[in-house]
Amino acid sequence: MSSSIQLFFDGSWITLILSSCLLLMILTFAIQRGQFIYAVRNIPQPISLPLIGNAYQLNSTLEEFFNNLVKWSQRFGDIFLVWVGIRPFIFLYKVETVQPLLSSSVHINKSFDYNYLNPWLGNGLITSNGDVWYHSRKLLTPTFHSGLLEEYFNSATNEVKIMISCLEKEIGKSFDIVPYAKRAMLDVICDSAMGYHINAQTNVFNEYVLAVNRMSQIMQYRFTNVWTSFNLIFRLTKLGREHDHALKVIHTFVDKVIAERKQEWINQQNDDSNKSIKKHRALLDLLLEISKNGTILTDTNIRDEVNTFMFAGHDTTATSISWILYALGRRPEYQEQILDEYDEIVGDKEITLEMLNKLNLLDACIKESWRLYPVVPLIGRQIYSPIKILGHNIPVGSTVLINSYLLHRDVRYFPEPDVFKPERFLPSSPKLPSYTFIPFSAGSRNCIGWKFATVVVKVFTLSILKSYHITSLISEDKLRLISELVLVNKGGIPLKITPRTR
């Protein structure tokens, strides 16, 4: 009897302790939540519901979500807050609100949503934060210096010839340019990152190519669907299983390339006859060289950075090229002017990187396209220490999203903001204030590969214009924009091409 009583009291005490801990956690959460809500009470925001916040207004198509952001900016002004469940998202789109964040050396951490990329990118430059990010950034910055741009220029020049050839079967037809640009960029980035030719443009069923494309699609879906944010649930779904399969294919392939490249390095060190031969250098070679010179880089570290370059480079650059061709397809007079400038500066000579950089109108047209159709329309930061923006105290725990699509349409700096006017970016035009134009973000966490991307985009745009006259088959008012990881048009970007005779 006494033992039964003892067991009862032991069980009761355990229950009481657990209940007290749970109650304390609930009270702590409620107090913190109340303090947070009080702190953001003056930030304009649409009416939200308990627990689900504004999710009921966001549980719509991605197109409607993008349109809602535009409408709320018009309704609430320079800064507004949206609750997705219990997560607060603060949106900024004016230079006065953007500058304090992007110019900060403290608020550099990416939003929690980037954690979805961790299985793929590990502790690469996109997903890492704090000291790990500082170390990686310092380590990788030399790999994008101007001396290596010649390597990337040559790679882009070779791959665009293949794309032009692939486009021949579309002459005179309506077709979506995006898949062609994506396959071409996979070839460029794979060559630049690993020194490996996967021939994505001519072998669309390559296992690695299919895996990268599928992973990109899954990541885009997770970034825009709140119900996939719970990893335990996501991994049990069909999409989660596809994610794991694609991830295995990607890691297996990259690990194999790293192992082969390391063996080549060993062989070269043992063979004096090859040391004088100049070889194409990829990012992987530079990482191996850094590792050889004393910096500790494991194979996993190297794989993370190679995967990061692949992920960050191929989709964004392909999207950029697609939008530029769309914009020029709407304004054919600029196609002719770009080619006139090319004839004047390059003529019959073989173009060099130096000549490419002298094509000011090409540069201006590309920048104007980036203004109208920023490749990454939402830039996320997680707030870990308080910051004041436009008199509003932004508390710890906030996720801040910079809307570059709206930032680039500020009428104060871009009159007729919806009109394609490349003259804004010619050398003779007034210089824009800092943070008004951020196609590659800005500040210490800007895109490390922006010079690489610029060279590749210029090579592809110019080469395609030299081969084809482009017509865009959808007007600006018919675009159905969607903010995924990149800015896309629902239904793709339909073009029509005809061979040039000049």
Give the lowest-confidence range in 11-15, 287-291, 395-399, 485-489: 11-15
In the block, tokens 């669907």 appear at 225
Alpha-carbon span 45 to 387, nearest angstrom: 19
CB 225 within 8 A of CB 184: no
Going by pLDDT thresholds of 50, 70 and 90, the confidence category of residue 27 is confident
User: Residue 284: which of 318, 257, 248 has the closest Cα?
Assistant: 257
**Residue 299 structure tokens:** 């194979």
> What does the pLDDT read at residue 326?
99
Place 202 in a pLDDT band, splitting at 50, 70 and 90. Answer: very high
Report the distance separating Cα 126 and Cα 308, nearest Å. 7
Please report which confidence band the pLDDT of residue 308 belongs to, taking 50, 70 and 90 as the band edges. very high
Name the helix (H) or strand (E) containing 65. helix 62-76
CA-based radius of gyration for the chain: 25
Q: What angle do CA 365, 366, 369 make, to 5 degrees?
A: 85
Q: 331-379, pLDDT tens digit by residue?
A: 999 999 999 999 999 999 999 999 999 999 999 999 999 999 999 999 9
- What are the respective helix, strand and coil percentages of the chain, to the nearest 5? 60, 10, 30
- Residue boundaries of the structural domains of the chain: 43-499
Tokens 């105290």, residue located: 393
Q: How far is CA 130 from each of CA 123, 302, 385, rounded to the nearest angstrom?
A: 11, 19, 13
Of the ranges 136-150, 282-296, 367-381, 382-396, the best mean pLDDT one: 367-381
Q: What is the β-pairing status of strands 87-92 and 399-403?
A: parallel
What average pLDDT does this structure show over 185-203? 92
Taking all residues of the chain, what is their mean pLDDT, rounded to a whole number? 88
Please, is 93 exposed, middle or buried when counting C-beta atoms within 10 Å of its C-beta (0-12, 13-18, 19+)?
A: buried
> For 78-92, 171-185, 237-251, which range has the lowest pLDDT when averaged over its residues?
78-92
For residues 15 and 115, which has the higher predicted lDDT (pLDDT)?
115
- pLDDT of residue 275 exceeding 60: no
Confidence label for 28 from pLDDT (cuts 50, 70 and 90): confident
Task: Say whether pLDDT at 276 is over 60.
Answer: no
DSSP letter assigned to residue 434: T
pLDDT on residue 136: 87
Query: What letter represents residue 166's amino acid?
Result: C
DSSP conformation letters of 221-278: HHHH-GGG--HHHHTTSHHHHHHHHHHHHHHHHHHHHHHHHHHHHHHHHH-GGGTTS-
Q: pLDDT tens digits for 386-403?
A: 899 988 989 888 899 999
- The owner of tokens 């650059």 is 317
On the question of pLDDT at 278 being above 70, the answer is no
Averaged pLDDT, 160-172: 97
Report the candidate in 275, 271, 308 with the shortest Cα–Cα distance to residue 139: 308
Is the per-residue pLDDT at 285 higher than 70? yes
Please give the C-alpha separations between residue 3 and each of 17, 225, 412, 459, in angstroms, as whole numbers: 21, 54, 81, 84
Residue 277 has pLDDT above 60, yes or no: no
Over pLDDT 70: what percentage of the chain?
92
E strand or H helix at 403 = strand 399-403
- The size of the chain, in residues, is 502
What is the arithmetic mean of pLDDT over 477-488?
91
Rounded to whole angstroms, the Cα distance separating 168 from 500 reads: 12
**How much is the pLDDT for 88?**
85
The CA distance from 84 to 88, in Å, is: 6
Mean pLDDT within 96-124: 90
What pLDDT sits at residue 59?
Answer: 59
Q: How far apart are the first and last CA of the chain?
A: 103
Known binding residue 21? Answer is no
Q: Is the pLDDT of residue 273 over 70?
A: no
The beta strand positions in 74-138, using DSSP E, are: 79-84, 87-92
User: How many other CB atoms sit within 10 Å of the CB of residue 3?
Assistant: 7
Beta-ladder partners of 348: none
Pair of tokens at residue 9: 């009291």
- The domain covering 43-499 belongs, at the CATH homologous superfamily level, to Cytochrome P450 (1.10.630.10)
Cβ proximity of 228 and 85 under 8 Å: no
Tell me the average pLDDT across 429-435. Answer: 95
Confidence band for 187, pLDDT divided at 50, 70 and 90: very high
Q: How does pLDDT run across 325-342, given as a tens digit for each residue? A: 999 999 999 999 999 999
Query: Measured between alpha carbons, how far is 470 from 379 in angstroms, rounded to an integer?
Result: 31
For 26-43, what is the mean pLDDT?
77
CA–CA separation, 210 and 249 (whole Å): 9
